[in-house]
């Protein structure tokens, strides 16, 4: 199975920076680039536009991003534009950020609850997650969702642990729908 474009470029950039000891710099630049693309959507539109020449795209990259991106990161973007893969630049930045966090064992966690969680409960939950998942640190986002009714829903990466009242009620309703009365 072929790698996705952002994965191929992202792995190459990651390994290059790992070999040079510049992973932290790459991560920080990925965050800056992600924000720059959100703040200036016209930049990506120009980089993918078929009427903008390769030379113009290269100059645009160097002039707009060369001041804050490393030679390696900028070179990766230039290559992506040259190979007509510029549309994947936002996914590349997301991939590089995720790969760095995985490498550094930084857990990205979203916790939803029906009501605000007390500080002591947050601390206990974070300690439990760190102990069981093996992370060195966590980036936790706490959200309230009254539809949960009670309990919590914790998402770590692609895994979801749901102990909400809403999930339990939905499970009961689903079970009742499968019951056949004769």
The full set of domain ranges for the chain reads 5-102, 105-178
Distance of CA 172 to the CA centre of its chain: 34
d(CA 24, CA 47): 26
Residue 7 neighbours by CB distance under 10 Å: 15
pLDDT at 92 over 80: yes
Return mean pLDDT, the chain.
93
109 vs 158: CA distance, rounded Å: 10
Residue 2: pLDDT over 70: no
pLDDT (mean) for 38-50: 95
**Total-model pTM:** 0.82
The pairing of beta strand 159-162 with beta strand 152-156: antiparallel
Q: What is the pLDDT of residue 7?
A: 96
List the structure tokens of 134: 């093996």
Q: Are residues 53 and 93 in contact, defined by beta-carbon separation less than 8 angstroms?
A: no
Assigned CATH topology for domain 5-102: Peroxidase; domain 1 (1.10.520)
Going by pLDDT thresholds of 50, 70 and 90, the confidence category of residue 1 is: very low
């Amino acid at each position: 199975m072929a790698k996705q474009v952002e994965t191929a470029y992202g792995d190459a950039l990651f390994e290059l920076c790992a070999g040079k000891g510049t992973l932290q710099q790459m991560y920080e630049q990925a965050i800056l680039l992600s924000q720059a693309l959100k703040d200036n959507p016209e930049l990506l539109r120009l980089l993918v536009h078929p009427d903008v020449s390769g030379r113009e795209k290269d100059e645009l990259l160097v002039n707009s991003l060369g001041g804050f991106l490393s030679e390696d990161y900028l070179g990766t973007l230039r290559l992506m534009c040259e190979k007509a893969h510029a549309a994947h630049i936002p996914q590349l930045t997301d991939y590089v950020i995720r790969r760095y966090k995985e490498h550094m064992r930084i857990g990205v966690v979203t916790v939803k609850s029906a009501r605000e969680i007390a500080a002591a409960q947050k601390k206990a939950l974070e300690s439990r997650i760190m102990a069981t998942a093996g992370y060195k640190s966590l980036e936790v986002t706490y959200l309230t969702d009254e539809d949960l009714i009670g309990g919590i829903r914790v998402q770590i990466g692609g895994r979801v642990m749901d102990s909400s009242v809403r999930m339990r009620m939905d499970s009961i309703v689903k079970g009742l729908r499968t019951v056949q009365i004769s």
